[in-house]
Chain A
Amino acid sequence: GEDVEQSLFLSVREGDSSVINCTYTDSSSTYLYWYKQEPGAGLQLLTYIFSNMDMKQDQRLTVLLNKKDKHLSLRIADTQTGDSAIYFCAESMDQAGTALIFGKGTTLSVSS
């Protein structure tokens, strides 16, 4: 079956880099996503990576995909207090992004 696993908590200091990890089980996943959820707010898509890519960089965000190990990571450079939120890893099976399968989320706490 499909399953997405994430560590539950990460605590970093402002200015440090944060690395949030995710593992997934379905090798047929086509797209892998990172969403951010702040208290009382909806899910915000941060970035995504297509399964034939190894890395994607977008400003402070770097996504690394190890397809062999089914491991996805999100690196946030120069982490700010405003980055404190819950980060969800998600996968989808087809190009249309149908039926996203989410992990339980990693709570990132950034202290000043």
Chain B
Amino acid sequence: GAGVSQTPSNKVTEKGKYVELRCDPISGHTALYWYRQSLGQGPEFLIYFQGTGAADDSGLPNDRFFAVRPEGSVSTLKIQRTERGDSAVYLCASREGGGSITQYFGPGTRLTVL
């Protein structure tokens, strides 16, 4: 089957605009994660979904960031009033659930805020 997919692969927006980033996890994976990777850094955790609910959103930097997973599959990361500091690669990962520990990462969405 297919791996984790993310769309778009690249997004350029202007400061102050709203953006949505989409993640399609591996089919059947119950856990889904969002991370953000800035240039020269490792990925930083943003939010973790188990099913439809956010089990841990402690990594969201502020209330401009919000994520949903309404049907327990596809997830959308939403960023309001974008700032230049939001520019980064946004990574999504999914995990099968149960006793599985492996997180499978998508290729990421590169967000550039001008």
Contacts and interface: CB of A to CB of B under 8 A. Distances in A.
B51 to A, nearest CB: 13
A43 B43 contact: yes
B103 interface: yes
Interface in B15-43: 31, 33, 35, 40-43
A88 interface: yes
Contacts, number: 60
A92 B101 CA distance: 10
B101 A95 contact: yes
Given A42-B4, A42-B91, A48-B101, A99 B106 contact: no
Contacts of A97: 95, 100-103
A98 B105 CA distance: 14
B44 A102 contact: yes
Contacts of A48: 101-102
Given A42-B108, A43-B105, A98 B41 contact: no
A88 B42 contact: yes
Interface residues of B, number: 29
B72 interface: no
A41 B107 contact: yes
A56 B41 CA distance: 27
A68 B59 CA distance: 29
Contacts of B95: 96-97
B65 interface: no
A108 interface: no
A31 B101 contact: yes
A99 B44 CA distance: 9
